[in-house]
Amino acid sequence: MNPHHRDSGNQEWYTPAPIVEAARQVMGAIDLDPASSPEANRTVRAARFYTVEDDGLSHPWAGRVWLNHPYGGAAGYNDRWIAHLIAEYQAGRVSQAVAITWASTDTAWFARLMNYPICYTYGRPKFTRPVGAVASSPAKNAPPKGAAITYLGPQVARFAEVFEGVGRVMIAFNRVEALVGVVQWHLQS
């Protein structure tokens, strides 16, 4: 098996503070982190968070959500987190969300995120370990793939502005919407 396509085997990796702070700048605050711990929440500062014992997938989500879900696990595990996030957003319970994931463009779960604005990070973020220390080498504190930060919400321009220093921000191109826009522009001319 190619080692670049495996996870690290450890699901406790905390997002670097500057990325969480950028998410807070976009959303104004973080109401919920559904995949967290007391230690991780010192950086995230969510008003409410669920731990592994709480099982964030078994609860409804609401408000402004930060998501760095645990990667790996059984088949379909990533899909369950992403499906839950999108369902809660589409139902209107989540007003905004920022999710950091691997840039797994070859997977079905990531394909669903590609309908939303995504920041593909410059390089691999340096995650921290539960003890709060950065691992001793880049191979031990960076994900095995590039990272992507996805935004769900109405503040798309703000997301692009804030995250342009973190990576390349891409916005989904919908051919039908684009054609309608071109037709409308021609009709107005």
| pLDDT, tens digit, 9 for 90 and up, residues 70-94 | 876 666 678 899 999 999 999 999 9
CA distance 94 to 97: 7
**φ/ψ bin of 73: left (φ > 0), alpha (ψ from -120 to 50), beta (otherwise):** left
CA distance 169 to 166: 9
Place of tokens 């691992």: 135
Burial of 37 (0-12, 13-18, 19+ CB in 10 A): middle
Q: Would you place residue 6 in the very low, low, confident or very high pLDDT band (cuts 50, 70, 90)?
A: very low
Place of tokens 């973190």: 166
pTM across the whole model: 0.81
User: What are the residue ranges of helices labelled H in the chain?
Assistant: 17-27, 38-44, 77-90, 108-113, 138-141, 156-163, 175-188
Asked if residues 146 and 103 have their Cβ atoms less than 8 Å apart, the reply is: yes
Give mean pLDDT, residues 19-33: 97
Q: What are the percentages of helix, strand and coil residues in the chain, rounded to 5?
A: 35, 20, 45
Query: Quick one: tokens of 186?
Result: 């021609």
> Mean pLDDT score of the chain, rounded to an integer?
83
Asked if residues 113 and 82 have their Cβ atoms less than 8 Å apart, the reply is: yes
CA distance 153 to 167: 19
Task: Give the CA-trace dihedral at 152, 156, 161, 165, to 10 degrees.
Answer: 30
Give mean pLDDT, residues 43-49: 96
Q: Would you place residue 146 in the very low, low, confident or very high pLDDT band (cuts 50, 70, 90)?
A: confident
CA distance 144 to 136: 16
Phi, psi torsion values for 117, nearest 5 degrees: -60, 135
Query: Quick one: tokens of 18?
Result: 């500057």
